[in-house]
Amino acid sequence: MKRCDSLRSKAAPLARALVPALALALAACGGTPAETYVGTAPDLPKPQRGLLPVLKVSTPTEWGDRRPQVPEGYTIEAIADNLLIPRQMLVLPNGDILIAEGRGGRAPKLTPKDVIAGVIKARGNTQVESGDRLTLLRDGDGDGTYEGRSVFADNLDAPYGLAYADGAIYVATQDALLRFTYAEGAVNASGPPEQVTWLPAAINHHWTKALTISADGRYLYVGIGSDSNITERGLAVEENRAQVWQVDAQTGFHRVFATGLRNPTALAMHPGMDQLWAVVNERDEIGPELVPDYLTSVRPGGFYGWPYSYWGQNIDDRVRPQKPEKVAAAITPDYALGSHVAALGLAFSTPAMGAQFADGVFVGQHGSWNRDPPVGYKVSFVPFRDGRPSGEAIDSATGFLGEDGKARGRPVGVTVDPRGALLVADDLSNTIWRITPARGTASTVPTPAAASADRPPDAPATAGAPPAG
C-alpha cells in the first residue's frame, strides 16, 4: 500500500500530463474486496480517507452473441438498439414505450482529481452523441416485437424523467419540467412542449432530474441532485439541490417536499398506497464500502442527512460547519443497495411478473467507477411485505459485467409493463431489453386478464425502421 499512497500523493501536480498511466496504476492499487453492505440494517464500517479514491471502470466491449442473464423461467430479448443514450422509459396507456435519450451535465472540473475521475468515467461510457430526444416504440400486434419506431420529440436539453397523466406527457430535462399534449396513439408530438416550471441547473454536477406523478395526476415529484460530492464547491451552490420537489401539474407551483437526498436518481409511487419512493446515489471518497446507495420511502418534510450525515446519524466530518441539530433529525433510509452501485432505475412490480417478483421493486444499477472489484452492473429486485422492503435482494438481470471484467452493458431506467414484462434501458450498448416470464409457466406466473385486451387491434403503425429483437 505504500506504493499506492505514493501514487496518490503525486496525482495532483501530474494529473493532466499523466492521466492515462496514473489511472492504470491507481486502479491496480485496488480497494478492499470486502463484504458489500446491503439490507435494512447494514453494519457500516469506519470511513477510509485518502487523497484519491480507487478509480476503476470496466472497459466496454460488444455483446456479440451474448445477452444479459435472467432467472430460470424468464427470457430476455433486445427490442430496440442503436439508440442515443437511453435513460428512462414510460409505458403509455396503449402499450407504446417512450424512451428519453441523452447526456447532460456541465459542471467544471475544479481539481486534478476531477480531471482524472472524468477521464476514467468517460472510458466506461458509450461514445455516441447525446440524442436529446424522445423515441417511441410500438408493438402493433402484441407479440413482443416492437416493429414501430419514431422520434416523438427532439431538440430537448438532456431529457431524463418521464410521467403521464390525463392526456399529457411530462418530461424533466436538465433545466426544465415540460408538458406535451398527447392523444392516444400519436407517434409524434403535436407541437412544442409547454414549460411547467424551471428546474435548478446552474452547475448540474448531478444533472439527472428524476420524475414521477401522483395517482390522481395532480402532483409531479422531481428529484434534484446535489452540485457536489460533499459541498466542496461551497454551500451557496447547493441552494435548491439535493431535494425532491412537489410540483402542481397544472400551475407549476412547487414546494420542497424532502431534503438531504444527495442524488435522487429515480422516483416511483407505490401503487395503491400513494407513497413516494426513491433510489439515491450517496457520497464518495470515504472507502469502498461507504456510503451505500439506497432505496427509501420519502416522507413529506423529511431530511435524509446530506451533507451532514449518512445512513441516519453517521456524521461526515468533512463538512463545515457541522450542524448537530440536522444530524439528529436525519431519517435512516429503508434499504441499503450497496456502496457505489449507482442505482439509476426504480419500478414497482406487478403479479404478472411471477411469484418471486410479484411484490417489490426492480432497481437498475449502472455500476461503480470507484471501487475494485466493481459492483452494480445489474438489475436487482427488492422484495416487499406490507408495503416495506423485506428480505434479501434478488438478481433479476446480470451479465452486464462479464467474467472477463469487461462491461457489455450498463442498466439505467427500469419499467414494468402491466402485461408482464420488465423493460431495461442499457445506455452502454444503447439497447432496450425486455424480460418476460417464459411461456408455459402459468403455475409460477399468473396471466394478466388485460394481456390481450389492452391494445386496440387497429392501432396505427409507427414510421421508422424496426428495432432489433
DSSP H or E stretch at residue 161 = strand 161-165
pLDDT of residue 106: 76
Nearest to residue 312, comparing CAs of 101, 9, 43, 95? 43
Tell me the pLDDT tens digit for each residue of 308-360.
999 999 999 999 999 999 999 999 999 999 999 999 999 999 999 999 999 99
pLDDT of residue 18: 37
Nearest to residue 373, comparing CAs of 395, 340, 344? 340
Please give the Cα distance from 445 to 264 (Å, whole number).
Answer: 32
Please give the Cα distance from 232 to 114 (Å, whole number).
Answer: 12
Amino acid at 193: P
Please give the Cα distance from 237 to 378 (Å, whole number).
Answer: 33
Domain boundaries, the chain: 61-437
DSSP state of 249: T
pLDDT of residue 131: 97
> Quick check: 221 and 212 in contact, CB under 8 A?
yes
The percent helix, strand, coil of the chain (3-state, each to 5) is 10, 35, 55
Please give the Cα distance from 234 to 17 (Å, whole number).
Answer: 28
> Quick check: 6 and 25 in contact, CB under 8 A?
no
> Quick check: 292 and 50 in contact, CB under 8 A?
no
Model confidence pTM above 0.75: yes
Q: Reply yes or no: is the peptide bond before residue 237 cis, omega within 30 of 0.
A: no
Please give the Cα distance from 97 to 138 (Å, whole number).
Answer: 7
The Cα angle at residue 147 between residues 144 and 150, in degrees rounded to 5: 125
- Give how far the C-alpha of residue 147 lies from the chain's centroid of Cα atoms, to the nearest Å: 27
Topology of domain 61-437 in CATH is Neuraminidase (2.120.10)
Please give the Cα distance from 375 to 118 (Å, whole number).
Answer: 19
pLDDT of residue 55: 82
What strand order describes the sheet that includes 335-339? 264-270, 275-280, 292-297, 335-339
Q: Which residues pair with 423 in a beta bridge?
A: 415, 434
Q: From first to last of the 469 residues of the chain, give the pLDDT tens digit.
A: 333 434 334 433 433 333 333 333 333 333 434 446 999 999 999 999 876 667 888 999 999 999 999 999 999 999 999 999 999 999 999 999 999 999 998 777 767 667 777 777 777 889 899 999 999 999 999 999 999 999 999 999 999 999 999 999 999 999 999 999 999 999 999 999 999 999 999 999 999 999 999 999 999 999 999 999 999 999 999 999 999 999 999 999 999 999 999 999 999 999 999 899 999 999 999 999 999 999 999 999 999 999 999 999 999 999 999 999 999 999 999 999 999 999 999 999 999 999 999 999 999 999 999 899 999 999 999 999 999 999 999 999 999 999 999 999 999 999 999 999 999 999 999 999 999 998 744 334 333 323 322 333 233 332 233 333 3
pLDDT of residue 458: 31
pLDDT of residue 442: 33
pLDDT of residue 136: 98
Nearest to residue 188, comparing CAs of 152, 155, 156, 159? 152
Cβ partners under 8 Å of residue 110, min gap 6: 232, 233
* Cell (9 digits) for 72: 430460470
pLDDT of residue 388: 98
> Quick check: 162 and 209 in contact, CB under 8 A?
no
> Quick check: 440 and 466 in contact, CB under 8 A?
no
Tell me the pLDDT tens digit for each residue of 239-291.
999 999 999 999 999 999 999 999 999 999 999 998 999 999 999 999 999 99
DSSP state of 175: S
